[in-house]
Amino acid sequence: MTLEFLGEYEPDDVLTICSLMDILRAESFPLAFDTLGRFTRKGRDIWWVGIADNPRLIEIQHTLRTLLRSHGFRVDSRRYQPHVTVARDVRISAEGARSLLQTPFEPICTTISQIHLMESTRIEGKLMYPQLHTHPLEPSR
């Protein structure tokens, strides 16, 4: 799940981004995935799982966005919509998509105990996400 997409940046910026992440003081928190959705892209959809309303997640994301912006990074101005992409370039009939979107499922619950800085890159033609930094969240009380 992306907290903030930075796009392209200079290699020297990685240390600054890591130090800004490490400023965050937040406790680990529960998270529930409870919605299935899709972004339509000319017949090749992107399917995602959405997150139940979570004020702690929104607070962490807002704090990180504010820190990045205050240090000159270009950040998105749109409202944050937390989700996890589960499939790209999906080709499915309109009827099949409607059926999937209307099928209820039990929420999938987990605990978030750390955040990561990830790089999006292509390795041998495959989209990969190497981890550049980890910031642990404090244990919840």
Domain ranges of the chain: 13-136
DSSP notation for 41-69 = -TT-EEEEEEE---HHHHHHHHHHHHHHH
**Percent share of the chain, pLDDT over 90:** 67
Q: Provide the pLDDT for residue 135.
A: 97
Averaged confidence pLDDT in the chain: 92
- Rounded Cα distance between 51 and 106, Å, is 12
Checking if the pLDDT of 43 tops 80, the result is: no
**Percent share of the chain, pLDDT over 70:** 99
- Rounded Cα distance between 26 and 4, Å, is 17
CA dihedral 57, 63, 66, 68 (to 10 degrees): -90
Do residues 31 and 110 lie in contact, with contact meaning Cβ atoms separated by under 8 Å? yes
Mean pLDDT value across residues 23-38 = 94
Q: Provide the pLDDT for residue 7.
A: 86
Checking if the pLDDT of 66 tops 80, the result is: yes
Instruction: Band the pLDDT of 52: cuts 50, 70, 90.
Output: very high
Mean pLDDT value across residues 57-72 = 96
Q: Is the domain 13-136 a CATH 3.90.1140.10 member?
A: yes
Do residues 115 and 3 lie in contact, with contact meaning Cβ atoms separated by under 8 Å? yes
